[in-house]
Amino acid sequence: MTTVLVVNSGSSSLKYQLLDDAEQVLASGLVERIGGAGSIRHRGPGGEVTVDADVPDHRAALALMMRTCTEHGPQLAPDVVGHRVVHGGARFSAPVVVDDEVEAAVEELATLAPLHNPPGLLGIRAARATFPGVPQVAVFDTAFHATIPPEASTYAIDAGLAAERGIRRYGFHGTSHEYVSQEAARFLGHAGRFVVLHLGNGASACAVSGGRSVATSMGLTPLEGLVMGTRGGDLDPGALLHLLRTGMSVDEVDTLLNRRSGLAGLTGTGDLRDVLAAAEGGDERAELALDVYAHRIRGYVGAYLAHLGGLDALVFTAGVGENSPEVRARVVEGLGHLGPTLDPARNEARGRGARLVSPDDAAVPVLVVPTDEELQIARHALAVTAG
């Protein structure tokens, strides 16, 4: 039996999942508060355990994972390790086996993704040291979007500067958009023209045609596009100049855009459940935030409909997209003239797998497809090393 360990490494946390080649999850878990007094939550064949432990760094996090597996199962001897890496830049348009040179390239890309690439690199380094001889595969959030045509990936700024500094639309959430669009194609029996809405803490829209990404809402960085938990998405570049000219520093603007924007900026909380509850209670700021959130999404659906030349399915995924009938209703309401409509009972019904939430005769079917980035990373890791 071949097993794959999938590692999703954040700056102070590390998620892992062990899968076999039949795509069964053998174990999964999360190490938190790396850098000090941390803990592991591990789910294996014997159920879930939580253990506190000192976790000075990512290498210690993997050691803790190993120890926990030895004690509570399953036996951990992966044939390949797959890593989530956020930014692959212009260089990585597909998963790749990590060697020193790839590791150096991922490190260099940290200038483009200072918040996101360094933790991925920590995970890669720790895993290379922990599992010497085991192939490590880097799977990039940007790679699925490598097929976006130049007219959609080019920002209209000085071309020389853009080339020199790598400024173009890369897009993110690619592993999710790829997985979800493949599952949607399987569900529908054809890979047509889909708009996939990944609505989690981060959020992005993707136009997928024949299995390929042709447009997406995140750009050079994960700050562009839809309204998110704490990020605001699209913003007049002139607004940044205005803030910088009226006394804010670059660091303050950075904090504003990454942490004091989006739902959190509009309402005080970035958790969509809380925003929904507040709106229910008559809070006007929450109501406005939901309106802005849904309006932005509808604009992207319309834009992508224009680019795709037609729409064969609208697909919701991630925390909000999978779990909130209310947000789906707010989005799809007002899109009826473009084809997508909801069946209220189907939309309200809970479910686990890919499912239809539109009427059977909807002009454009609306689907909910639970995302599974770990599984997609495992598939890629296996495929790359099988060759």
Ligand X SMILES: Nc1ncnc2c1ncn2[C@@H]1O[C@H](COP(=O)(O)OP(=O)(O)O)[C@@H](O)[C@H]1O
258 is in an annotated binding site: no
Closer by beta carbon to ligand X, 38 or else 270: 270
Pairing of strands 203-209, 212-216: antiparallel
User: Taking the complex as a whole, how short is the minimal distance between the CB of residue 195 and ligand X, in angstroms?
Assistant: 18
d(CA 121, CA 133): 18
Q: Which does 235 bind (CB under 5 to 8 A by kind): ligand X, a second copy, none?
A: a second copy
Q: Is 210 in the site for a second copy (CB under 8 A)?
A: no
What is the amino acid identity at position 252? E
Token pair, residue 200, equals: 């989690």
347 is in an annotated binding site: no
Of 16, 21, 22, residue with least CA distance to 66: 16
Q: Which does 220 bind (CB under 5 to 8 A by kind): a second copy, ligand X, none?
A: a second copy
The verdict on whether 141 is a catalytic residue reads yes
Closer by beta carbon to a second copy, 365 or else 370: 365
Tell me, residue by residue from 263 to 282, as one string, x for binding to a second copy by CB under 8 A and - for no binding. Answer: x-xxx---------------
Q: Which does 338 bind (CB under 5 to 8 A by kind): ligand X, a second copy, none?
A: a second copy
User: Taking the complex as a whole, how short is the minimal distance between the CB of residue 239 and a second copy, in angstroms?
Assistant: 5
Distances (CA, A) of 382 to 49, 146, 167: 28, 21, 32
Which region among 42-50, 128-136, 144-152, 348-356 touches a second copy (by CB under 8 A)?
Answer: 144-152
284 is in an annotated binding site: no
Describe the strand order of the beta sheet including 313-317 as a list of residue ranges: 212-216, 203-209, 193-199, 313-317, 366-368, 355-356
Contact 255, 261 (CB under 8 A): no
Distances (CA, A) of 171 to 42, 228, 329: 32, 15, 26
Catalytic-labelled residue, pool 141, 234, 236, 360:
141
Q: Which does 294 bind (CB under 5 to 8 A by kind): ligand X, a second copy, none?
A: a second copy
Token pair, residue 137, equals: 């595969």
- With CB under 8 A as the rule, give the number of residues binding a second copy: 76
Interactions with a second copy, residue window 49-108 (CB under 8 A): none
Closer by beta carbon to a second copy, 46 or else 114: 114
Of 384, 387, 382, residue with least CA distance to 78: 382
Contact 109, 141 (CB under 8 A): no
188 is in an annotated binding site: no
Contact 5, 69 (CB under 8 A): no
Pairing of strands 313-317, 193-199: parallel
Q: Is 236 in the site for a second copy (CB under 8 A)?
A: yes
173 is in an annotated binding site: no
d(CA 139, CA 94): 7
User: Taking the complex as a whole, how short is the minimal distance between the CB of residue 269 and ligand X, in angstroms?
Assistant: 9
d(CA 96, CA 80): 12
Give the DSSP H/E element, type plus range, for residue 6: strand 3-9
Cβ-Cβ contacts under 8 Å for 173 (sequence gap 6 or more): 141, 198, 202, 204, 206, 216, 218
Residue ranges in contact with ligand X by CB under 6 A: 200-202, 229, 271-273, 318-320, 323-324
User: Taking the complex as a whole, how short is the minimal distance between the CB of residue 23 and ligand X, in angstroms?
Assistant: 20
User: Taking the complex as a whole, how short is the minimal distance between the CB of residue 360 and ligand X, in angstroms?
Assistant: 25
Closer by beta carbon to a second copy, 294 or else 356: 294
Q: Which does 209 bind (CB under 5 to 8 A by kind): ligand X, a second copy, none?
A: none
Token pair, residue 387, equals: 């060759």
Which region among 21-29, 118-126, 232-240, 271-279 touches a second copy (by CB under 8 A)?
Answer: 232-240
Active site residues: 141
Output the known binding site for substrate: 84
Output the known binding site for Mg(2+): 8, 373
